[in-house]
Amino acid sequence: MKTDSTQVVIIGGGPSGLLLSQLLHRAGVETLVLERQSRAHVLGRIRAGVLETGLVGLLRKAGVSARMDQQGAVHHGFHIAHQGRLDRIDLDARTDGQSVMVYGQTEVTRDLYDARDRMGGVVLHGVEDVRLCNLTNGQPHVLFRHAGAAHRVDATFIVGADGFHGVSRKSIPEGVLREYEKLYPFGWLGVLSETRPVQSELIYARHDRGFALCSMRNPKLSRYYIQVPLSERADAWSDAAFWEELRRRLPEGVADQIETGPSIEKSIAPLRSFVAEPMRYGALFLAGDAAHIVPPTGAKGLNLAASDIHYLHQGLIDYFLQNDSTGLDGYSERALARVWKAERFSWWMTCLLHQFPDMSPADLRLQQAELDYLFSSDAAQTVLAENYVGLPY
């Protein structure tokens, strides 16, 4: 068995793990990133593309923002369609000039990989049989197999950024770990198409037939979603059927402007709210989807992972460069405080815009009353806008 050592082992080579590795490397902290999948597989994942103010700043701090700043689109607002009309949330006006950046998560990941390559960062792909050892006593280390050989890496700390199904959270004993979960009785059928976006800003649609979302990746690449039952299969939906159903859920003036075309990706994503506590166990720190999942309504998934990385990279740098463990000691409590606020917002926005199977006529009227109140109240719109651009770190 080959034995190595580093300061921080990061399990997971998605955007969270890569961003943490990049920030630590720039500060002089050694890292090793272990990823189960190939780089091509990681870059082939289709994910959200709305970046909060805080994440945009973090990418700039990491030195990976050049392409985002050149190609990303700054959005100063978004729309909610309901009762056949289109109402706008003005982010600028409600948040003293804050905005969001529309730039695909795949592109963020690509930029991070390129930066890791330029700096000589070590990212191992195709890693198997990962085991986290001695998390609370002795020398913390990770055992794994790579390219057919057994490896051991000793580290001061281990960061689990390996997603909901990864090994990291499962390494915390059952008596210590507490998990909170809410499953939603529907999913999002998403289509990616090389078509012009229907509008320059996102449209969230509440309709009696179900939720819909008009989003984009760039001026020539659109991303659309419709709410479907969990029993649906993506391959059962033809492109024509998808476009027809999407149009039904949008105001007439918007539906008439949709440019259709062949889908280049089609999938169904289930919706869940999930939080694991604590986010630290000895030498192990959880980050991103390994610790929490939010419904995609409101685009908080990647952004919430970024706030974890913000707190964690600060704590690790203070520990290694200043021998100060304050940030790490308070990481779980600090991160979870923001996690639960984002979970609340994503749950609220999901309930506001989706049709639930057990909704009564009274439920439907209350849902519409909530929307009517939202667009009659400056205070309500401010609350929505503040959460959408991202709560402060």
**Rounded-to-integer distance, Cα 391 and Cα 284, Å:** 26
Angle at 103 between CA 257 and CA 245, to 5 degrees: 35
Tokens of 146: 């790579």
Active site residues: 75, 204, 296, 300, 388
Give the pLDDT score at 160. 98
**Rounded-to-integer distance, Cα 279 and Cα 287, Å:** 7
Name which CATH class applies to 2-76+99-181+272-349.
Answer: alpha beta
Q: Taking a C-beta distance cutoff of 8 angstroms, is the pair 144, 129 a contact?
A: yes
Tokens of 363: 């439920």
Alpha-carbon dihedral 363, 368, 374, 377, rounded to 10 degrees:
-100
**Rounded-to-integer distance, Cα 302 and Cα 123, Å:** 20
Give the pLDDT score at 292. 98
Give the pLDDT score at 48. 72
Handedness of CA 52, 32, 30, 25 (dihedral sign): negative
Model's pTM, two decimal places?
0.95
Rg (CA), the chain: 22
Map out the domains of the chain as residue ranges.
Answer: 2-76+99-181+272-349, 184-271+355-389
Q: Taking a C-beta distance cutoff of 8 angstroms, is the pair 167, 127 a contact?
A: no
9: nearest Cα among 111, 103, 135, 102 = 135
Matching residue, tokens 């520990």: 319
Q: Which residues, 6 or more positions from 268, have their beta carbon under 8 angstroms from its beta carbon?
A: 187, 188, 189, 190, 228, 232, 233, 234
Tokens of 197: 């976006």
Buried b (16+ CB within 10 A) or exposed e, 123-148: bbbebeebebeebeeeebbbebebee
Q: 184-271+355-389: which CATH architecture?
A: 2-Layer Sandwich (3.30)
Give the pLDDT score at 218. 87
Give the pLDDT score at 49. 86
Give the pLDDT score at 47. 74
Give the pLDDT score at 188. 97
**Rounded-to-integer distance, Cα 108 and Cα 68, Å:** 8
**Rounded-to-integer distance, Cα 19 and Cα 41, Å:** 18
pLDDT 10s per residue in the chain (393 long)? 788 999 999 999 999 999 999 999 999 999 999 999 999 999 987 777 899 999 999 999 999 999 999 999 999 999 999 999 999 999 999 999 999 999 999 999 999 999 999 999 999 999 999 999 999 999 999 999 999 999 999 999 999 999 999 999 999 999 999 999 999 999 999 999 999 999 999 999 999 999 999 999 888 999 999 999 999 999 999 999 999 999 999 999 999 999 999 999 999 999 999 999 999 999 999 999 999 999 999 899 999 999 999 999 999 999 999 999 999 999 999 999 999 999 999 999 999 999 999 999 999 999 999 999 999 999 999 999 999 999 999
